[in-house]
A and B are shown apart, each in its own frame.
Chain A
Amino acid sequence: DAGVIQSPRHEVTEMGQEVTLRCKPISGHDYLFWYRQTMMRGLELLIYFNNNVPIDDSGMPEDRFSAKMPNASFSTLKIQPSEPRDSAVYFCASRGVYTGELFFGEGSRLTVL
């Protein structure tokens, strides 16, 4: 398996633009997580899905952020409109039957100017 695949790896955009980050989890995994990592706040859980259903989105910073999982092999995290404070590395992770291990993608580094 190729692991968790995220795109784009890097995104530079201007304030006010819409940003869409994409994630393909490992086949067979039924949990998917979106994290944000910054120097100031460290690693924050934004939202997670179980069997494509959002379970807990309490970490989503505000209404400008939304996430969807239309099927078991694809998820998106959208920011609209983007702001400079959204600049961070966004990670997607997945897991299946509980062994304690989360599998992380390589991240999408977002810079909002």
Chain B
Amino acid sequence: AQSVTQLDSQVPVFEEAPVELRCNYSSSVSVYLFWYVQYPNQGLQLLLKYLSGSTLVESINGFEAEFNKSQTSFHLRKPSVHISDTAEYFCAVSEYDNAGNMLTFGGGTRLMVKP
């Protein structure tokens, strides 16, 4: 069975500083990996995903994540954060052989960007 661990429940950071949100997963088979973002009082929305190909994936707003198979990690990074990046971020995984391609979500990391 797949599982996802987000090591940090909260990450405070100053505006324009770099940030890394950590995600590790556990699975016995190959996986697809995702980061979702939830802004206050909204539902989750896809930020970026790794399905195949290049292990480095990017979002349109400057976030990137790298799939590291040996470390079973998919950490999310941004070189310079903005106040508007304040949100909760969820890492998720689904397994190749999962008939429903069900997503398993991590517990979330609350990114708090301070001026």
**Tally of A-B residue pairs with Cβ under 8 A?**
46
User: A34 an interface residue at 8 Å Cβ cutoff?
Assistant: no
Contact A100 B34 (CB under 8 A): yes
Residues of A within 8 A of B108 (CB): 42-43
Footprint of B on A, CB under 8 Å? 4, 31, 42-43, 45, 48, 50, 55-56, 91, 93, 98-102, 104-107
User: B78 an interface residue at 8 Å Cβ cutoff?
Assistant: no
User: By the criterion of a CB under 8 Å from any partner CB, how many residues of chain B are at the interface?
Assistant: 20
Which of A102, A105, A107 gathers most chain B CB within 10 Å?
A102
Complex CA gap A50/B36 in Å reads: 22
Interface of A is mostly: strand
Contact B100 A104 (CB under 8 A): no
Complex CA gap A12/B102 in Å reads: 31
Residues of A within 8 A of B102 (CB): 45, 48, 56
Choice from B43, B94, B100, B107 contacting A100 with Cβ under 8 Å: B94
User: B67 an interface residue at 8 Å Cβ cutoff?
Assistant: no
The answer to whether A104 and B90 touch (CB under 8 A), given A43-B108, A48-B100, A98-B101, is no
Complex CA gap A56/B102 in Å reads: 11
Footprint of A on B, CB under 8 Å? 32, 34, 36, 41-46, 49, 51, 90, 94, 100-103, 105, 107-108
The answer to whether A104 and B44 touch (CB under 8 A), given A42-B108, A48-B100, is yes
Contact B90 A105 (CB under 8 A): no
Complex CA gap A108/B51 in Å reads: 31
Residues of A within 8 A of B34 (CB): 100-101
Which of A42, A99, A107 gathers most chain B CB within 10 Å?
A42
Choice from B43, B46, B49, B107 contacting A106 with Cβ under 8 Å: B43
Residues of A within 8 A of B45 (CB): 104
Choice from A43, A56, A101, A105 contacting B46 with Cβ under 8 Å: A101
**Interchain residue pairs with CB less than 8 A apart (16):** A4-B43, A43-B108, A56-B102, A91-B43, A93-B43, A100-B32, A100-B34, A100-B49, A100-B51, A102-B36, A104-B43, A104-B44, A105-B43, A106-B41, A106-B42, A106-B43
